[in-house]
């Protein structure tokens, strides 16, 4: 290993940063022949730069921090050296008893999302086909019983989310006492405050001499030291290409759009671009539901994916999108990390991502299936500063241009057409919306009609009318009273008038219940409050 002057990271001697001087074939590496055959069966004959560097770095038995762009083969970069080590060093076999299933677990892969856990498990199962190694995948919001059964049968590699791995450890379903390799996929996401406590507690239960590796496409400076602290002493840092950069093969575009006009902008873009395989990323789960419902009402075949859905519905959404039955996938950033969906040809940032590095991961989802990828971002007024910071972080300059004419979708852009020149009051009245300066809509013409006269007699009319003279100034007029059971008042039968407070108090004072309380002299031993007499004791 030598230190490259161009990047300042450790690279193998036969490599030059940011890539290799010549392609490295898997036959030239020290990988097991059975893994090389599995790679050839999938059509892979040459290692990518990050794969070749990771294989050599893992051979030094030190912690590894690998940074490489999206789509550069980071999953196989850690899977190949780990599986090769598990094949060459089988677990301990007890005399006459075979291998203890609990001692087989020697490799752990921690990932942030359930979809990524399933994808990594599928990739590793393709590599271990034909070997004695077994792989299991565990994640939350699904039945834990089948996962416990799969682990109890004996596995060599466990892929899971931190929360579910913690549950299995707390239930003593698995043990990390024999762990030799720990992988932290999407290292920047796993080292923030949401996952870091769980990841730290999990690694504390593993042996101290394990090999820990972290892989990611982005790494903010504020998290670099935190990640390196999880990798043990003297970790090796390898890198390929420019860090924190989006996929260079994708074309980028941006529009200035008001937040309430984003749905119309999305419909316009889908109509004019005529693209299938579009992934639309929204900021929150609720906004995902709004956008999905709006596209469905306009006849767009759409699926949605977010964290509140059950795992079954999330799998169905990905399958519908991958098969082509759904042309658009609306999702939160849960789908932005590590997923390799060949059906994604374009990415729409419906909302500017809050985290700067999420832009790189979102754009990296496009183009995995080949062909030219595309990304477009809708920038609202309040997002202009964040959009500029994203450009500085990712090293791209994407100026946001004005939105096109969206009148075909019921949006009147300011300064476009004769409708924009009409007074605001006339436009709001014609559209049925409140005009400027008012909080109510157009008045209902029925409210302008006079009220229909009540056929029932009012107070002081008809037979109940009194001829009393008008009261003098300062005197109170006598109100007509309604008495008698079932007597009709202005609005139907009236109840008898309740007695005044003074009348009620006078009746209570004369009742037997208060005789004892109203006595001025103290009570005798035979009396009790309320006027009764205590029974003599036997």
User: Which of 259, 253, 252 lies closest to 381, judged by CA?
Assistant: 259
| Average of per-residue pLDDT values in the chain | 76
Q: How many CB atoms lie within 10 A of CB 195?
A: 19
Report the distance separating Cα 463 and Cα 232, nearest Å: 100
Contact 376, 254 (CB under 8 A): yes
**pLDDT average, residue stretch 488-517:** 57
Sequence-distant (6+) residues with CB within 8 A of 500 are none
**pLDDT average, residue stretch 416-439:** 39
Which tens digit of pLDDT belongs to each residue from 225-238?
889 888 888 888 88
Which tens digit of pLDDT belongs to each residue from 332-345?
988 887 677 777 88
According to the model, what pLDDT value does residue 377 have? 93
Q: How far is CA 220 from the centre of its chain?
A: 21
Can you give the length of the chain in residues? 538
The ranges assigned to domains in the chain are 2-239, 251-408
Q: Tokens representing 355?
A: 């985290």
Top pLDDT among 62 and 448 is at 62
**pLDDT average, residue stretch 256-281:** 90
According to the model, what pLDDT value does residue 28 have? 85
User: Which of 215, 186, 226, 180 lies closest to 50, judged by CA?
Assistant: 215
Which tens digit of pLDDT belongs to each residue from 38-80?
999 999 999 988 898 888 888 888 889 998 887 788 899 999 9
pLDDT over 90 at 393, yes or no: no
Sequence-distant (6+) residues with CB within 8 A of 303 are 292, 316, 317, 318, 320, 321, 326, 328, 329, 330
**pLDDT average, residue stretch 255-278:** 89
Least confident of 158-167, 186-195, 521-530: 521-530
Sequence-distant (6+) residues with CB within 8 A of 319 are none
Class of domain 251-408 (CATH, top level):
alpha beta
Report the distance separating Cα 218 and Cα 353, nearest Å: 14
Top pLDDT among 117 and 507 is at 117
| Per-residue confidence band for 426, with pLDDT thresholds at 50, 70 and 90 | very low
pTM of the full structure: 0.66
- What share of the chain in percent tops pLDDT 90? 33
| Per-residue confidence band for 465, with pLDDT thresholds at 50, 70 and 90 | very low
Least confident of 66-75, 173-182, 294-303: 66-75
According to the model, what pLDDT value does residue 333 have? 87
Is CATH 3.40.50.300 what the domain over 2-239 is classified as, yes or no? yes
Report the distance separating Cα 124 and Cα 218, nearest Å: 23
Report the distance separating Cα 371 and Cα 506, nearest Å: 95
Q: What is the DSSP string of 101-163?
A: GGG---EEEE-SSHHHHHHHHHHHHHHSTTSS--EEEE-SSS-HHHHHHHHHT--SEEEE-HH
According to the model, what pLDDT value does residue 163 have? 93
**pLDDT average, residue stretch 523-534:** 59
Top pLDDT among 151 and 68 is at 151
User: Which of 269, 258, 286 lies closest to 384, judged by CA?
Assistant: 258
The beta strand positions in 26-106, using DSSP E, are 46-47, 64-67
């Amino acid at each position: 290993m030598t230190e490259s002057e161009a990047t300042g990271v450790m690279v193998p001697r036969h490599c030059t940063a940011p890539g290799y001087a010549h392609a490295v074939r898997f036959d030239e590496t020290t990988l097991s022949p059975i893994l090389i055959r599995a790679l050839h069966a999938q059509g892979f004959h040459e290692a990518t730069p990050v794969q070749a560097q990771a294989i050599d770095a893992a051979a030094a038995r030190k912690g590894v921090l690998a940074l490489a762009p999206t789509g550069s083969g980071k999953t196989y970069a850690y899977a190949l050296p780990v599986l090769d080590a598990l094949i060459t060093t089988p677990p301990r076999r007890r005399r006459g008893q075979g291998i203890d299933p609990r001692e087989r677990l020697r490799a752990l892969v921690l990932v942030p999302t359930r979809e990524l856990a399933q994808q990594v498990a599928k990739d590793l199962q393709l590599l271990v086909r034909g070997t004695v190694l077994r792989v299991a995948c565990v994640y939350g919001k699904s039945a834990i019983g089948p996962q416990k059964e799969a682990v109890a049968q004996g596995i060599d590699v466990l892929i899971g989310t931190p929360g579910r791995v913690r549950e299995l450890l707390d239930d003593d379903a698995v043990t990390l006492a024999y762990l030799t390799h720990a992988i932290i996929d999407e290292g920047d996401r796993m080292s923030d405050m949401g996952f870091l406590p769980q990841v730290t507690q999990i690694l504390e239960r593993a042996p101290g001499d394990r090999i820990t590796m972290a892989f990611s496409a982005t790494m903010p400076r504020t998290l670099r030291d935190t990640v390196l602290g999880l990798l043990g002493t003297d970790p090796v840092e390898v890198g390929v290409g420019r860090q924190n950069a989006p996929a260079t093969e994708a074309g980028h575009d941006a529009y200035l759009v008001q937040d309430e006009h984003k749905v119309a902008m999305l419909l316009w873009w889908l109509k004019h671009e005529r693209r299938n395989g579009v992934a639309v990323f929204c900021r929150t789960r609720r906004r995902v539901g709004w956008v999905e419902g709006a596209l469905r009402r306009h006849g767009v075949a759409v699926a949605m994916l977010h964290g509140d859905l059950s795992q079954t519905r999330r799998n169905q959404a990905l399958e519908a999108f991958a098969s082509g039955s759904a042309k658009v996938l609306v999702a939160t950033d849960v789908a932005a990390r590590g997923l390799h969906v060949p059906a994604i040809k374009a990415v729409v940032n419906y909302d500017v991502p809050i985290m700067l590095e999420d832009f790189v991961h979102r754009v990296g989802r496009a183009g995995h299936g080949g062909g030219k990828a595309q990304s477009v971002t809708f920038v609202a007024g309040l997002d202009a500063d964040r959009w500029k910071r994203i450009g500085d972080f990712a090293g791209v300059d994407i100026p946001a241009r004005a939105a096109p004419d969206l009148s075909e979708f019921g949006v009147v852009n300011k300064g476009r057409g004769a409708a924009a020149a009409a007074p605001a009051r006339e436009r709001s009245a014609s559209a049925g919306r409140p005009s400027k300066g008012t909080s109510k809509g157009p008045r209902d013409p029925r409210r302008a009609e006079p009220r229909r006269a009540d056929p029932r007699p009012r107070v002081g009319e008809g037979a109940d009318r009194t001829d009393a003279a008008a009261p003098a100034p300062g005197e109170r007029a006598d109100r007509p009273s309604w008495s008698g059971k079932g007597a009709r008042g202005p609005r139907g039968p009236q109840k008898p008038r309740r007695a005044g407070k003074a009348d009620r108090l006078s009746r209570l004072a004369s009742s037997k219940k208060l005789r004892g309380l109203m006595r001025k002299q103290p009570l005798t031993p035979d009396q009790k409050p309320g006027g009764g007499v205590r029974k003599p004791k036997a």
